[in-house]
Structure 1
Amino acid sequence: MPKAVTCHSLQDVRDNIDRLDEIIVDLLAERIGYVLQAAQFKETRGDVRIPSRIEYIVERVRHFAEENAMDPDMAESIYRHIMEESIAREEIRWDKINQS
């Protein structure tokens, strides 16, 4: 995976951050698309939040962060927030699918 290149101005830094933000949001949108699809495969609303799955993801993300010289605590914090937001939206989707 590419690492940050050396920038020669503040504008270079900002341009690269802007470029990455577009990629990150695109990937987050794809991720939430899969999260929302998961709702259709879960039998109960309680199946949306699986603590063991959350911890599995956290451990993987911490490992990926370490491999990329990123603070694993920061990566964990970001991902815990992403997962909480994802769970909230998946619960809404589950409710919609299962309303009767």
Structure 2
Amino acid sequence: MADLAELRANIDEIDRQMIALLADRFKFTEEVGVYKERHGLNAQDPDREAQQFRKLATYAEQCGLNPAYAESVYRHIMDLVIARHVELRTIKK
């Protein structure tokens, strides 16, 4: 069994990778927000969100993760993205 320092080092590396992926994700969602603003689309798309949550639940189950954990994390991420999309609309006005 690994010692505590090794376990924590593994967690730290995963955290680093997650932050890099989140940064990439937010770059793309920023582009989506600009696109929506330019084309007069709503900041929030409930159909897309429902579709994403279904996919995320499947991915989570395939990885042995409780789907409720994935939903909780992604709900927060999506709320941040939606808030930013709303902000983009108000900045342009």
Q: TM-score scaled to structure 1, two decimals?
A: 0.83
The runs of at least 4 aligned residues of structure 1 exceeding 2 Å deviation read 93-96
Partner of 2:85: 90
Shift of 1:50: 0.6
> Structure 1 stretches of 5 or more lacking a match?
1-6
User: Contact (CA 8 Å) 2:34, 2:85: kept in 1 or not?
Assistant: no
Partner of 1:61: 56
Deviations 1:58-84 (A, max 9, x none): 111110000101101111111111100
Q: Any idea what SS the aligned residue of 2:82 has?
A: helix
Equivalent residue runs for 1:68-87 within 5 Å: 68-87=63-82
Distance 1:61 1:20 in 2: 19
> Structure 2 stretches of 5 or more lacking a match?
none
Identity of aligned residues (%): 30
Q: What number of residue pairs does the alignment pair up?
A: 91
Distance 1:79 1:68 in 2: 16
Q: TM-score scaled to structure 2, two decimals?
A: 0.89
Is 2:29 the counterpart of 1:35?
yes
Two-structure CA RMSD over aligned residues (Å): 1.4
Distance 2:31 2:14 in 1: 26
Q: Any idea what SS the aligned residue of 1:66 has?
A: helix
Shift of 1:15: 0.2
